[in-house]
Amino acid sequence: MSLSPFRREEGPHGPSFSGPAGSPLRVVVTGGAGFIGSHLCQRLLDGGGTVWAVDNFDPFYDPAIKRAAVRELEASPRFRLVEADVCDEAATAHALEAAGLGPGGADVLIHLAARAGVRPSIEDPAGYARFNVQGTAATLELSRRLAIPAYVFGSSSSVYGNEARVPFREDAPAASPISPYAATKRAGELLCHAHHHLYGTSVVCLRFFTVYGPRQRPDLAIHKFARLMAAGEAIPLFGDGSTARDYTFVDDIVHGVEAAARFALARPGAWEILNLGGSQTVTLARLVELLAGEMGIDPAVRRLPAQPGDVERTWADIGRAGELLGYAPGTSIEAGIAAFVRWFRDSSARSPRSAP
């Protein structure tokens, strides 16, 4: 039986699931100014929650994009922006305390702060280890220091590597990551398990599958392709276009994250690893076709060799998340791409810097 059932409704992008109902949550969201984090903060605030968003505005991509997202959130009196580097646990704790959060003052810590991206991780494996492994260890200790009873970790489908069996199930070994980024995310999951074992904290690790949508990071494929198409430039296509991804619209992801937070809080001592995906695969060639069609552009394509570290395909088995969380993504790739293009055009018209 689902603990936090989703409600099916008609949303702006077609049928969707509104997510779990319940009392307002008091949440620390690391990476709260980022793509997924800012959407999650908005959802929690819309539900009456109180949010402490921790972010260091790392220049991995233009911090002005994240600043713009935060300005929308700061309209709520229940939102607190905490500028801190989560790798420094003591400094982050001090900053949170200065923002009014004392021991026992939050229900859940949702750790989304990370250095993302497979290809950049190959160039800077040590930096990824610091941000993603040390950062996870520090936030786990932060949750213990502040007596936060539940912890949700944003992991990645990349931990599966080139797993032969599809769709990917959580009981797969996930023992052969093929990029430093994937290895750091698997290491984060193992740190979460050790913390849960030692201290009994309720922990849910969520393996995200290729999240996209409005405010997507500019370095990710859909945003990058849209920008190049709009500028009349050729898009780089790595490989023959047959690699496939389980693209997941950001609204569906944040619904799942909120459900996981409520599940962790309601089940003291819980330990789970769960997939959050769209449970549909789309090839790279089909993605380009959909995006170009929505933008009304005949794109130029620059063919390049397949990249080291890129997996051949991802595909989420979401049965376990459906059973425990009531998770049921409702946004098709067609509706999601249409929503992204509307945002891209609107943000480009308002400010060229918002769609770099």
| pLDDT digit string, tens, across residues 157-180 | 999 998 768 899 999 999 999 999
Whether the CB-CB separation of 33 and 66 falls below 8 Å is answered with yes
pLDDT band of 279, cuts 50, 70, 90: confident
pLDDT for 13? 40
Whether the CB-CB separation of 13 and 25 falls below 8 Å is answered with no
Q: Using CA atoms, how far apart are residues 275 and 273, in angstroms rounded to an integer?
A: 7
Q: Which residue has the higher pLDDT, 5 or 99?
A: 99
pTM of structure: 0.91
Q: Using CA atoms, how far apart are residues 238 and 243, in angstroms rounded to an integer?
A: 9
Q: Which of 160, 181, 212, 247 is catalytic?
A: 181
| pLDDT digit string, tens, across residues 174-194 | 999 999 999 999 999 999 999
Q: For this structure, is 327 an active site residue?
A: no
Strands (E), the chain: 8-11, 14-17, 26-30, 50-55, 79-83, 108-111, 150-156, 202-208, 211-212, 235-238, 244-245, 248-249, 271-276, 282-283, 301-304
Please give the CATH architecture assigned to the domain spanning 8-212+249-278+314-330: 3-Layer(aba) Sandwich (3.40)
pLDDT band of 289, cuts 50, 70, 90: very high
Beta bridge partners of 98: none
| pLDDT digit string, tens, across residues 54-104 | 999 998 888 998 999 999 899 999 999 999 999 999 999 999 999 999 999
